[in-house]
Every structure is written in structure tokens, then in C-alpha cells.
Structure 1
Amino acid sequence: MQVLWSLAPILLTLALLLTKLPAWVAPAAGALLAAVLAPTVFGVDPGALGVAVAGGVPTVLEILAIIAGGITLSRVMEYTGAHQRLGQWLSAGAGPSIATGLLMVHGVIPFLETVTGFGVSLIVGVPLLIGLGYTAFRSAVMAVLALTIGPWGSMAPGTLLGARLGHLDFQQLGVTTAVFNLPASLLAGVVTVLLLRGSRGTRFDAGPARLAPWIGVALLSGVAQWALILGANLLVGTAPAGALGTFVLTAAWLLVVRRGRLTPGPGRDVVPYLTLMVGTVIGTTAESALALSGPLSVVGTPALWAFVAVGVGVRLLHLDAAGRRAVPGEAARLWVGTAIPNALYVAFGLTLSAGGVSGALAGALSGMGESYLVAVPFIAALGGFITASNTGAMALFGPLQMDTGAALGVPPVWTNGLHNAAAGWGIIPGPARIQVAHGMAAGSQTSEMPGWAVSRGALFAVLFPTMLAGIVLMSVMGWFLLPR
């Protein structure tokens, strides 16, 4: 009977997500029901539950600050025209070729996602791709495919939450997540090539590119993205790893596309993003090396460097008076719509874990034996699909996955890493991402454009099988790699 009660908060949340109620209602209702069941069904002391949930407040505040910084930075870059100028700089290097597509899918757009997060990069990425000459449909699909970087989006608040929920080392969790993220990187590249088949390899080519060699190039590009992010996690830490890895790959692809010439460069327009990336690397390194704690540990949080980057952008890019008036209000509206539901999902996850709900479900699921490990990525992908956020998916199912894995002898850092990677990939065919990509591309659709017209159904028809293939591959990886 306890198992049935333990399912109730999750089922209630999933049911409410299917309604037209505001996004915050589902996690709030789930958290409230879990809090009621904790003392009445699972015998958890209300005081102990309150202490456990209160202990997560610093993590919630840090996540909210990271989201606020990333969104504000994206608005400053938009209002100063920096995003438009960066797009023009990229388009000067090559036209709508396969090489340029891989540059955008494995480099530019994932980098933008790491410094903004929560799908904000689609707002920039789709217009950039259309400006490069791709059709509206291809632009929308490639922009969503580029979100291979989910666990490191917005400097990895979801991964940070997973570390805090499971009392894990943040960097170790980043490494295990990176290991399992390989299928996402590979499939994004391969599907991009299939989408662009018949296109030229580079704008200097005399004819259409042959498919098989470019599939090989896509696989190499995907392996390079995976290896760079894994290496960055090992060398500089998890928060900046996605930004650093995709920045290096962007530079490498630009050298290929521009035939070894990067000049003239983007100039000051890229400085705010570099400030965020370099500042986070230096800050996290200093925090670890000097064992900083208390107020001094703020130097290691991406939230600080996001707002430093905002200040740099305002001054260096000369945000005008109209922009200074518009940015705070627009950023605040976007923040409320994104941050409040995420904060409630964190509270929901903490209540599930501390209230005995997660433990009861884990006990039941562990009865499946090792076959449960095959299901871990599918459960995670469901969480990503319905919450449209690694943070939300981690809060929703992370404690359950770690508890069940531990019951089967799997170290939580490995179960959580697999969950984190799969949740990030599960987001791509979700309604939230498709809605944004479609909205940004639909206005550019014309009757002269070849191939499919952009529509939500057409996007789902490509993105859902791609996501499913990645989750199957992650499941196979988990079966062979999870230690037990």
C-alpha cells in the first residue's frame, strides 16, 4: 500500500502537467501532497522534514541566481545588437553547408546554451541558422539538436542540484554525466548530416557532398565534443566544462570552415561570454585550491560571473537608455516563468527524498533486480520531457534513481550521472523546446523553401525518434558501464 501512496505525488504532478494550468502548479501540488504523506503514511517527523527541506534553500537560491544571470546576459546581448553581429561574423565564413551546420550544432549553439540555459539559446540559434541560409525547418531542427549540452546548460545548476541531493562530489558527477553523454553528441551530428544531405560540404565545393564521408566527419565531431567536455570536467571542473569544451570546438570548426583564417574576429561582442566562462573557471579553481567557505565561496558560483558579464556587456557594448529600461523588466518576466517552476521542482525533490516517498518507491523498484538499470535512462528522459529542465528532472526523479540504484549496489554518482545525461537528451522533443523553435522559425517560412515546411508535428517527427535512439544507446552504455 505504501508503494501506491508513494506514486501519488508523482502521478499528480504528471497529470497536472498535461493541463493548461500555470507551470508552477504541478510541482507545487506534488510537493504539498508529498509533505502531507510524509508524517501520515511514512511516519517521518515533520520537524525533520522541515530541516531537510530548509537545508536545500542555499542550493535553490544559487540556482535561481544562475538562471537570473544567464537570462539577463542574453537580453543585454540582444539589445546591444551583439547577437546579430556575431551572426554576421559567422555567416561571413561560409554559407549553408554541412561543415557550417556541424559548427553550429556542436559548437556555437551549445556554447550559447551553457552561458544562458533553459533553451534560451534557441532564441538566438534559430535566427542565426536562418541567416546562414538554411531553410526554416532545418534551422529549427538543428537548433534543438544542438542542445546536447543540457547537463551543463546555464553553468550546470541541475548537475549541482544532483550533487547536493545525493551528497556527491560535484566534479565527479560531472565526469560520470559526461561519460554517458556520448550518444547525444554523436546523434546530433549524424542527424544534422542526414538533414543536410545533398548540400555542399563547404561553400567552396563544386558539387553536393557525399553522404558516407560526412557521416564519418559528424561522428568525429561528436566524439570531439564529448572528449572536450569530459576533459574539461576533469581539468577545470563541472560548471564551466560545457562552455570551455564547446568554445574550443567552435574555434576548431571555424578554422576548418574559414580555411585557417579567423580574422577579422568578432571583437568585443564575444567578451561578455568570455568573461562568464573564464571567470567561472578561475573562480571555481580558486575556491577549490584555497578551500574557500562561507561568503568567500561566492567566487566559485557561476551566478557571480554571470552578473559580472552583464556589467561588462552593458559598459563595453554601450547598452543605450532604452535598452537599460527594457532589459530588467523583460529579464524579470522570463526569470519568473523559468525560475519559479524550477524552484518548486527542487522543493518537490527534497520532499520526496526526505519524506520517505523516494525510499518506498526505490524499495519496490529494486525488486526488478538489475533489469531496472536498463530503465534508468527512460525514466530520466520522461522527467526531462515533462519538465523541460535538467534541474526539474533531477528534482523529480533524481532521488528515486539514486536510492534504487544504491539498493542494487550501484554507486549513486554513477546512477545520477546516467540519469542526468538522459534527462538532458529527453528534453529535445518536448513541447517547450519545439514551441520556441517553431515560433522562431515559422515567420521565415516561404513557399520557395525546399523540403519540409516547419511545423510542430514535423519537428516532433524528427526529434522524438532521435531522442529515443539516444536513450536506447545510453541504456546499453549503462548496462555495461554501471559498476555493481
Structure 2
Amino acid sequence: MPMPLLAAAAPILVVLLLLAVRIPSLWAGATGLVVAVLAAALAFPLDAVGMAASARDMAPTVVEVAVILLGGVGLAEAMRRGGAQDRIADWLDGAERGADRTITLLLLVFGLTPFMESVTGFGLGVVITAPLLVRLGLSPVKAVVSGLLGLVLVPWGSLGPGTLVAAQLGGVGSGELGLWSALLTLPVLVVAASAVLALDVGRPAPRQLLLAAAVVLVEWVALIAVNLVLFPPAGALASAVVVAGLLALTRAANGPLPAVDRALALALLPYFVLVGGIFAATGVVALLGASGPAAVLANPAVWLLIAAAVAVAALDLPAADRWRVIGSAVRRWVPIAGGAVLFMVLGIVMAATGMAEHLAASAARAGYGFVAAIPAIGAFGGYLTGSNTGAAAMFSAATATASAGLGATPLIALAGQNVAGSFAIIASPPRIALAAAVALPPGERLPGSAHRVLAGAAATSAVLLGALTLLLA
């Protein structure tokens, strides 16, 4: 391997090796960054002006991602400590009274799981729904696998920091990337729905197949429609549409739903504040043409922090618990945000020094086969890092450069990478460990057959997305 190519590939190879042997992503990212600086010094001229310009361009995105992650962790911690998650779970459990539980199964997997993941991220959707699926009658193993298969809208998880990073490093608009990611999400929805039915229903009746197809179609169309207007809350609103539709079917099949009391209303309030605030602020900014400091009010990071504060206030936490929420959230946030920021800085260094461009030029020699492999590359990164943000930071600059060099559309190539990398985290060891911890008995591990179902779903989606990316890009 020629020295420049070896130097350019070294940071990614080192990171992938460390992640493969279960080194925490924070240390893997830090090591990769050191290797990138050394490799650049050996084989690529360090352009101080270019580095400064890249850092200046990326700094707002780095800060935004870090604040989004802080807000997501804080909201999740406040909802957990305040008992809001339990109240929502109890209400949904009370709504399920029918003999055929397919409606509730789809509501939990394709409604509640992606909604919670969209507004907070970090696998919170599975943390909530896996125990609920056990209550529904599934075995703990099936509950864990089904909950993970519900992570179908991860490009919008925690209001989309991974997609923001991919857009920034790839030189495309986040709104456009969000829209193309929505369009390419259909294979993921179909694969996930098929796997859930095969796992939990066996041989579904025509009515159950029709219901699942309707859920997939409604979620996909709603996702595209919202992305046409606004990117960050698209996942939350699309999954909310599914929840509303399936609750209406539940009411028609089983009679009136349980009453929404004050405790449940307070538990739901932070989510209404989050989604409603983003839409309202964005509309006001667009209407008034506000810019500068005023435009910050429409930033999703701001509204995640506000929603977390509302959760702390609305759930009547004692003063001591409020400080515990803050302390616990910060402790969880530091390694998560640290890893994300390190991967982003690694991407900046590789892009600014020309390492990513050199890798892209080398990959482009594979011709259109490289374009078809882009989703698989993204899926590999998502599997190893357990984060679509990490996968985006590692590969987006090279993906955009190489696809453009081949005459393909970088925007569509990045969307294929984004969607495949986001869905592949369902097979990632950290996500599996988190889901297993809330549903399986202490000390019990997910069997190999369950791992194969998750890996098979991620691989099948990557192959389908590769074909679509090659065709469309």
C-alpha cells in the first residue's frame, strides 16, 4: 500500500480496530485523532489556514450537536426519575384489552419506540418499549429484538445530530439530506416490519399483513411530508401520526381508551413543548425573517433544553432529586458528547488535510461498485460505533468527494450512508446491551439467534439501500 494511502487510512483503521475489541468510543476517537494528526504530518501538508477555516465552519455544528445531546440526556433522565415513563407505560398497558394484540405490537414498535428515540435518542425508545412488550405477552428475548427493530428513524434521533454532521462534512444542506434520508427509509421500514411479524406473529393473517403495510406506508409518507417543511422533528411527528392512528384503531376495536388524567398530561407535557416549540419558533422566524440571535430560538438544541427544564418542573421532583437529575445527566453526557465531538474533529482533520479526499480518490477507482457499497460502509460504521453521528463523522467527507468524482450525486450517496448507518446500530453491542438490561433477567445475555435476526435485518437493509443508491445517485 503506498504511503499516502496508508497514512490516510490509518486513523479509520485504528478506530475500527479499537472499537472491534470493545475499547470505549471516547478512547477510540481520541486515539484515532492522534493517529490522524501524526499521519497528516508524515504524508500530508498541514495547512494552518485551511485547518482554521474548517474549524471555524464546523464549530457551530459541533456546539449544536453537543447541546442537543445534553438536552436529550437531560430530558431522558428527568422523565425517568420523575416517573413519567412509567405513567405513559401504564396508560398504554390499560389501553390494550383485545385478543389480537397486533395493533398494540405495531404501536409500541413503530410508534412509541421511534417517537422516544426521535426526541431523546440513546436507545430510550427501547428502554421504554421492551418492558411493555413483555407485558404484552412476548418473551423477554423477543421483546428486546422487537424493540430494537423499532429503531427505524434514527437519522432523526435526538433531533438529528448525526444527519447534521453528515450534511456539514458532506457539504450539503441538512434539510435536503433529511428529505432524501426520508425517501430512502422505506426499505428499512419494510425490512423491520417483516422481521417483527415473522418473529412475533409467525404466519400473519391477511388482515395483519394489511395493517403492517398501512403502518409502514403512513409512517413513510408522514416522514417525507414533514421533512418537506422542517427536518429536525420529522421523526417525532411521523411516529406520532402512527401512534394516533393505531390508538384510533384500538378504540374502535376495544372501546373507549383509559382517561387521560393530570399525571399523564404532565408526563406528556415536555414532548408537546418540544415539538410544538420547534414548529412555532421556526414559523415565527420564517414569517418575520429573523436572523442572528433571534434565529437561535428556532434551534432544536434550545428546545430540548427547555423541554428538559419543563420535565423537571412539571413532574414535581423534590429539590434534591432535581440536582441529582442534573448531575446524572452531565455524567452520562460527558462520554457520549465527548465521543461524538472527537469523531467530528477527526472528520475535520481528515477533510482539511486532504486525507479524506485521498481516500475518496482511491475508492473511486472501484467505479460504481463503490457507490453501491456506500450504505454497507455506513452500516459498518454504525454497527461498530453504535452511533449514526460517529459513522457520519468517519465517512461523510470521503463519501461526498468520491461519489462526486464518479459523477454520482453526493446528496443521495450521503442519504444512503446515513440511513444504513443509522439502522445498523440495532445490531451494535452497546445498544443490544442497553435493551437487554431492561428486559432480560440479571446476568442473562441475548442468544446468538437473536443477534442473527438483528444483523440480518441490518445487512438486508444495507443491500437494498445499496441498490437504490446506485440507481438514484
**So what's the TM-score if we normalise by structure 2?**
0.93
Which structure shows the higher helix fraction? Answer: 2
Which residue of structure 1 aligns with residue 233 of structure 2? Answer: 240
- Amino acid in the other structure paired with 2:115: F
Give the C-alpha shift of residue 395 in structure 1: 0.2
- Amino acid in the other structure paired with 2:245: A
1:220-299 counterparts in 2 under 5 A? 220-235=214-229, 237-259=230-252, 261-262=256-257, 264-265=259-260, 266-299=264-297
3-state SS of 1:168 partner: coil
Q: Is the 8 A contact 1:434 1:459 kept in 2?
A: no
* Structure 2 Cα separation of the partners of residues 21 and 433 of structure 1: 15
Q: Is the 8 A contact 1:98 1:196 kept in 2?
A: no
Give the C-alpha shift of residue 106 in structure 1: 1.0
Q: Is the 8 A contact 2:170 2:399 kept in 1?
A: no
Can you list the C-alpha shifts for 1:212-232, whole angstroms capped at 9, x where unaligned?
442332222112211111111
* Structure 1 Cα separation of the partners of residues 288 and 147 of structure 2: 40
Give the C-alpha shift of residue 320 in structure 1: 2.1
> Structure 1 unaligned runs (5+)?
199-208, 446-452
Which residue of structure 2 aligns with residue 472 of structure 1? Answer: 463
1:156-175 counterparts in 2 under 5 A? 156-175=160-179
Greater mean alpha carbon deviation, residues 410-419 or residues 129-138? 129-138
* Structure 2 Cα separation of the partners of residues 473 and 285 of structure 1: 37
Change (3 A) 1:475 1:153: same
Which residue of structure 2 aligns with residue 184 of structure 1? Answer: 188
Greater mean alpha carbon deviation, residues 76-85 or residues 34-43? 34-43
- Amino acid in the other structure paired with 1:120: L
3-state SS of 1:56 partner: helix
* Structure 2 Cα separation of the partners of residues 315 and 330 of structure 1: 17
* Structure 2 Cα separation of the partners of residues 406 and 335 of structure 1: 36
Change (3 A) 1:229 1:261: farther
Give the C-alpha shift of residue 20 in structure 1: 4.5
Instruction: Report percent identity of matched pairs.
Output: 33
Which residue of structure 1 aligns with residue 88 of structure 2? Answer: 86
Give the C-alpha shift of residue 327 in structure 1: 0.7
Residue 354 of structure 2 corresponds to residue 361 of structure 1:
no
Which residue of structure 2 aligns with residue 448 of structure 1? Answer: none
Which residue of structure 2 aligns with residue 326 of structure 1? Answer: 324
- Amino acid in the other structure paired with 1:224: V
3-state SS of 1:193 partner: helix
- Amino acid in the other structure paired with 2:436: H
Q: Is the 8 A contact 2:436 2:445 kept in 1?
A: yes
* Structure 2 Cα separation of the partners of residues 233 and 261 of structure 1: 33
3-state SS of 2:408 partner: coil
Can you list the C-alpha shifts for 1:21-54, whole angstroms capped at 9, x where unaligned?
4321111121222223334312241342243134
Q: Is the 8 A contact 1:225 1:246 kept in 2?
A: yes
Give the C-alpha shift of residue 444 in structure 1: 8.1
- Amino acid in the other structure paired with 1:180: L
Change (3 A) 1:387 1:20: closer
Give the C-alpha shift of residue 443 in structure 1: 2.4
1:30-429 counterparts in 2 under 5 A? 30-94=32-96, 97-197=101-201, 210-235=204-229, 237-259=230-252, 261-262=256-257, 264-265=259-260, 266-429=264-427
Give the C-alpha shift of residue 406 in structure 1: 0.6
Residue 463 of structure 2 corresponds to residue 459 of structure 1:
no
* Structure 1 Cα separation of the partners of residues 204 and 28 of structure 2: 48
Q: How many residues align?
A: 464
3-state SS of 2:426 partner: coil
Greater mean alpha carbon deviation, residues 472-481 or residues 393-402? 472-481
3-state SS of 2:25 partner: coil
Which residue of structure 2 aligns with residue 449 of structure 1? Answer: none
Q: Is the 8 A contact 1:150 1:425 kept in 2?
A: yes
Can you list the C-alpha shifts for 1:404-457, whole angstroms capped at 9, x where unaligned?
111111222211111111111111101011111111111289xxxxxxx96253
Greater mean alpha carbon deviation, residues 53-62 or residues 355-364? 53-62
Can you list the C-alpha shifts for 1:349-396, whole angstroms capped at 9, x where unaligned?
111111111100111111111121110110010111111111111000
Q: Is the 8 A contact 2:8 2:356 kept in 1?
A: yes
> Structure 2 unaligned runs (5+)?
none
Greater mean alpha carbon deviation, residues 213-222 or residues 417-426? 213-222
* Structure 2 Cα separation of the partners of residues 141 and 118 of structure 1: 16
- Amino acid in the other structure paired with 2:198: L
